[in-house]
Structure 1
Amino acid sequence: MESNWENKLIVASIDFGTTFTGCAFSMLADYQTYREKIMTIHWKSGVSEQATKTPTILLLKKDLSFESFGYEAEETFAEITEDSDDVDDWHYFKYFKMKLYDENKDSKIRTTSKVTDQNGREIDALHVISVSIKFIKDKIMDELKARIGVLRDDDVYFVLTCPAIWSDNAKRFMRTAAEKAGIANDHLRIGLEPECAAIYLHNVTLPDLSASKKQSFCMAHGDAYLIVDLGGGTVDIAAHKINGLGRFEEILIPDGGPWGSININFKFEQALTALSGARALETFRRENMHDYTALMRAFELKKIAFPGTRSKVTMQLPITYLQCHQNENRDSLLDSIKEVAHTVFSQCSFQPKNNVISFPNDSFASLYDETIGLILDKVRTILEYLEKVKQHDIKTIFCVGGFADCKLLRKRFTDEFGDRVIAPSEAITAIMKGAVMFGRDENIIEFRISRFTYGLDWSVDFDSKIHDPKRKEVTESGDVCKDIFYTIAEMGQRIPTDYATKKIESFVKASSQDRMEFPFYRTEKVQAPLYIDDPGCSLMGSMIVGLDDTAGGLDRYVTLEVYFGASELRAEATDNKGKKHTVAFNLDESEP
């Protein structure tokens, strides 16, 4: 795979988020004169005509063909639910990216994994995500053609972003989805979200908040910093150190958790459920989708703008919500607010004349407490580890991602960690713009840290003093012990990104063998296992190398070069005649 995209005509990025999606691109002429000139594609919305992102929402027809994506999908489905009797003939998907978050690091992400629509019906996740990516890819191509006229697919190279805390299988799943969406394998890179943000921040002028706002913030050789990517679904935390020539390396295995901003939305809906009952809220959502969407958009704006210092927060409730409440409850909404035992409604007031509910500052802030508390606890733990155990002086904590625009979150970060917290004004676009820069120069990240101890399913000469007799295998070239865990990278190992972590030579076992399979395993145990089926060891998938030329018999071999320092696991293969072979990586499809 070609590694240098610096001189490609166009590099585009797809920042595919849990709640919002955006895309950007860079033209070669712009990159050569001013590399920070990156164009973002805007989306039409009911709120703003110039939104830099659109909701990650997909609407499919009955036959699972594409209908719409983003704001358009949201609006179209709202109209369908209110004006049509065939609403069940449609499939509406929201927050489906979270399916790929592997919290325990041991569940299987498979190409047959499912996501559920608005009615709980299971649909192939690969189809849902690939259709979404295809729409975004086509939108980028249409935008480019409108700007420059004639354009070939081969002229555009894509970077698709993923959380750094995702498993190798989840990243591979996204690559498979992108290829299914029509992006060629050699025109696609996976960019890790906090790294992309870091690359962007290295290339723009930021105010030095610890000094005067008129001064610029600078990172020097040897400086270390934290990137906290605060997204809709997950919080993704990485730590880097600046090396020579403005490049950097990981100093921490990426960490984080499912503490994105959607948790605050869930808290708000849970509060409404406590107030009106699950049936009333579900009826409101199902029969009045336009009003439900408008209410949640209004809450989204309040959520981001709330500083935690106001005397109260006011919201106007739709009349249809009040009607649904009244139909399912004996009490009026005003009486229910007075009686409900929920912190959010403590000391709330309601004005029936204009349907405005007022939340006291502390009551509204309670929606954030658990989520922000979990984030701060994790950042605090990471800082303690880096500064006390690893002896790194963390100069700056960068907060990026859409959730980083939340004023209360910024305030609590600053209260906790002081002036070293920087939340750039373009936090929401930092990842998509940085992804374009990463596409032009992926080697700006010089070293990464191995997330696991990785190994191959290997065979060695059988030794009766060491090996299990049950694992003895007789081959044309002698007796071997199969199922050996052959370590090729150790957990915590500092691995370069620009050359192979390991070069492995493997001879064919049979003279007629027409392909080689290299099953990959991983473990979090410090002591690598002897065998691939030892406790704590799990199969990731297999790398397949086709050998169409069987001439040479048992003298044939393949040299496999594995890149564990790359943003995703990849490999290159060369046979004994010097011929390059494509390496296909197949996910483990066995049941978890």
Structure 2
Amino acid sequence: FLFRPGFISFGYEAKQSYLSISGQQARGMFFFDCFKFLHRNTLHIKSVNGKEMKALKVFTEALRFLKDDVLKTINENITGMKFTASDFTWVLTVPDSCDPSAKPFMRGAAIQAGIVTDGNTDNLIFALESEAALAWCKKLPADGFITETRINLVGLVLITFSVTDENIDFAVHEDLQGGRLKMLHRSSVNDLGGKSVDGKYKEFLREIFTDGVWDEYEKNYPTEVQRMMYEFSLLKKGDGDIQFCCPFNLGTLACKHQNIEQLFEGVEGASWNEGLIKISRNKLRSFFAQSLQGITHNVRKIINKGFNIGCIWLVGEFAQCVILRKHITDEFMEVCKVLCPFRPRESILNGAFLKSSFTYGIDVLCGFKAENKYFTRFTVFQHLQYFCSSGFIIE
């Protein structure tokens, strides 16, 4: 998201807009990229250049943009009628790691964004990311997965982990008859996602460009640094040597201290070749080491709980990385199937449509009313108090 301080743009357009402006202009912007899911009104989100904004404001403007863009696209392609937000059912996905406060927070953001109105939120549905991803993956044909093929999963326990740039969310479900899912376990770990790999990459660049060169470059040319990180986010998806152009300003700063070729002498895993920086395959893999070790440790902890694991599903942005997929497959292929759908980052989005007729809530006891035909189960406590045991709170 890009703000100045009002909302400017969202998604890929926001990133490209930020990368195209000068360093001086960038310092007056709010650019939010790959931030954690914060869901309390008082919390602030820090932008890539250190400026802060309330989390509720950021999420509200993001939802407003998505709503306006959807309505604009639909109305431009339909004649004779005009749709509004109230004509649709809206599905918001939330990470499995979120506590119960996430739902009222997102509902409040949706109300402020004009998706629903206060007091009438019936057409707003929430879906857990793991369940949305599973709903989509279970519908895919056998050839809808990378390298592996789908198997009959009924009766088996499935581990789904959504690997994003920030967190890793683990969810364990039992696949029941009729397409139903029973959640058995869920957990989350921070700082093991794609940003962990990005951080190791930055540390390596700082080792190359010593004597404060990299720190000065980060301070004076923030948009160029973001451009380098964006380029790396594409390159790290492969499993080979990577090569990219050294930005002019970084090279200029380095040459003020010493010949740039000398900076690479004695640096293991990197070389300089006429304006190009080359990083070896082994060095690229080393950037993933801490993340892979942490993920493996957490998956083994889940397996050791005694679940009858039949399959591990990989979804999310980070699952696009070949190094991650190969590692998880090699580590657990003798225990169960490891499946990753093509275009794994879209699994949650696609699954949200399939889950749009459901939401999640809390199973509770509520006062029994004999005249209510839906209250077919009741429990008697002391003092002859009657309660219905089939209550479901979604608020």
State the TM-score bracket (shorter-chain normalisation): 0.7 to 0.9
Which residue identity does 1:192 align to in structure 2? L
**Could you tell me how far 1:562 is from its partner in structure 2?**
6.3
CA–CA distance in structure 1, aligned partners of residues 345 and 288 of structure 2: 19
- Cα deviation for residue 68 of structure 1 reads 1.4
Distance in structure 2 (CA, Å) of the matches to 1:179 and 1:112: 17
Cα deviation 1:130-171 (Å, max 9, x = unaligned): 112211221122222233342122111111111101111234
Q: 1:138 aligns with which of 64, 68, 72?
A: 68
How has the CA–CA distance of structure 1 residues 176 and 206 changed in structure 2, closer, same or farther, with 3 Å as cutoff? farther
Deviation string 1:153-204 (CA, Å, 9 cap, x unpaired) is 2111111111101111234322222222112122212211111000111222
Which amino acid in structure 2 is aligned with residue 438 of structure 1? K
Once the two structures are superposed, what CA deviation does each residue of 1:395-435 show, in whole Å capped at 9, x if it has no partner? 11111111111101111011101161011113111100001
1:77 Cα deviation after fit: 2.6
Q: Give 2:15's match in structure 1, choosing from 65, 74, 86.
A: 74
Helix, strand or coil at the partner of 2:289: helix
Q: Give 1:289 shift.
A: 5.1
- Secondary structure (helix, strand or coil) at the match of 1:428 reads helix
Is contact 2:236-2:284 (8 Å) kept?
no
Which residue of 2 is the match for residue 176 of structure 1? Answer: 108
User: Which residue matches 2:259?
Assistant: 332
Rounded to whole Å, the distance in 2 between the matches of 1:164 and 1:498 is 13
Question: SS in structure 2 opposite 1:183?
Answer: coil
Q: In structure 2, which of residues 160, 169, 179 is the aligned counterpart of residue 236 of structure 1?
A: 169
Once residues 51 and 145 of structure 2 are traced to their aligned partners in structure 1, the CA distance between those partners, rounded to angstroms, is 49
How far, CA to CA, are the matches of 1:205 and 1:69 in structure 2? 33
- Aligned counterpart, 1:372: 292
Question: How do 1:528-547 and structure 2 match up within 5 A?
Answer: none
SS in 2 for 1:186: coil
Paired with 1:297 and 1:75, the residues of 2 have a C-alpha distance of 10
Instruction: Output one character per residue of 1:249-282: Cα deviation in whole Å (capped at 9) or x when no partner.
Output: 1111344443211111111112212322485335
TM-aligned CA deviation for residue 127 of structure 1: 0.8
**Matched letter for residue 502 of structure 1:** L
Q: Distance in 2 between matches of 1:278 and 1:165?
A: 41
Is the 2:162–2:170 Cα contact (8 Å) retained in structure 1? Answer: yes
With normalisation by structure 2, the TM-score equals 0.84
Normalised by the size of structure 1, how large is the TM-score? 0.57
Q: Alignment partner for residue 126 of structure 1, among 43, 56, 76?
A: 56
In structure 2, relative to structure 1, the CA distance for the partners of 1:499 and 1:357 (3 Å cut) is closer
Q: 1:217 aligns with which of 127, 146, 151?
A: 151
Question: Residues 128 and 192 (structure 1 numbering): CA distance in 2 closer, same or farther, change over 3 Å?
Answer: same
Instruction: Map Cα deviations across residues 520-553 of structure 1 (whole Å, 9 max, x no partner).
Output: xxxxxxxxxxxxxxxxxxxxxxxxxxxxxxxxxx
In the other structure, the counterpart of 2:302 is 382
- Offset of residue 216 of structure 1: 5.2
Q: Quick check: which one's strand share is greater?
A: 1
**1:317 corresponds to:** 246
TM-fit CA distance, 1:284 = 3.2
Residues 287 and 170 (structure 1 numbering): CA distance in 2 closer, same or farther, change over 3 Å?
same
- Mapped partners of 1:421, 1:112: distance in 2: 40
Q: How does 1:342-491 map to 2 (within 5 A)?
A: 345-351=267-273, 353=274, 355-385=275-305, 387=306, 392-418=307-333, 420-442=337-359
The change in CA–CA distance for 1:86 and 1:255 in structure 2 (over 3 A counts) is: closer
- Superposed CA offset, 1:483-507 (max 9, x none): xxxxxxxxxxxxxx688422159xx
In the alignment, the residues of structure 2 paired with residue 498 and residue 131 of structure 1 have an alpha-carbon distance, to the nearest angstrom, of 26
Aligned partner of 1:399: which letter? L
For 1:562 and 1:408, how far apart are their aligned partners in 2? 46
- The question of whether the paired residues in 1 share the 8 Å contact of 2:32 and 2:47 is answered with yes
Q: What SS does the corresponding residue of 1:395 show, helix, strand or coil?
A: strand
For residues 362 and 228 of structure 1, do their structure 2 counterparts lie closer, same or farther at Cα, with a shift above 3 Å needed?
Answer: same
Following TM superposition, by how much is the alpha carbon of 1:231 offset from its aligned partner in structure 2, in angstroms? 1.2
Q: Which protein, 1 or 2, shows the higher relative CO under an 8 Å CA cutoff with sep ≥ 6? A: 2
Counterparts of 1:274 and 1:126 in 2: how far apart (Å)?
Answer: 38
Which of 1 and 2 has greater Rg? 1
Counterparts of 2:27 and 2:150, CA distance in 1: 55
Q: Are the counterparts in 1 of residues 145 and 342 from structure 2 also a CA contact under 8 Å?
A: no
Q: What does residue 140 of structure 2 align with?
A: 204
Contact 1:175/1:190 (8 A) holds in 2: no
| Distance 1:118-1:299 versus aligned 2 partners, 3 A rule | closer
Supply the AA of the counterpart residue of 1:361: R
- The answer to whether the 8 A contact 1:229-1:236 is kept is yes
| Cα displacement string for residues 86-143 of structure 1 (whole angstroms, at most 9, x for unaligned residues) | 54433222233x152xxxxxxxx53121122344333211112211221122112222
Residues 112/78 of structure 1: CA separation in 2 closer, same or farther (3 Å cut): same
Rate the CA distance shift 1:224–1:561 in 2: closer, same or farther, 3 A.
closer
Aligned residues between the structures: 368
Shift of 1:236: 0.9
Tell me by how many angstroms 1:347 deviates: 4.3
Give the gaps of 5 or more residues in structure 2: 369-387
Change (3 A) 1:207 1:394: farther
- Corresponding residue SS for 1:399: strand
Instruction: Deviation per CA, 1:297-331: give whole Å up to 9, x if none.
Output: 2211211112xxx4x3333222222112234xx23
> Which of residues 276, 280, 286 is equivalent to 2:213?
280
Question: Kindly tell me: are residues 279 and 72 of structure 1, through their superposed partners in 2, closer, same or farther at Cα, counting changes over 3 Å?
Answer: farther
* Distance in 1, Cα, partners of 2:13 & 2:211: 27
1:438 Cα deviation from its structure 2 partner: 0.6
Identity %, equivalent residues: 23
The answer as to 2:99 corresponding to 1:167 is yes
Q: Distance in 2 between matches of 1:398 and 1:139?
A: 31
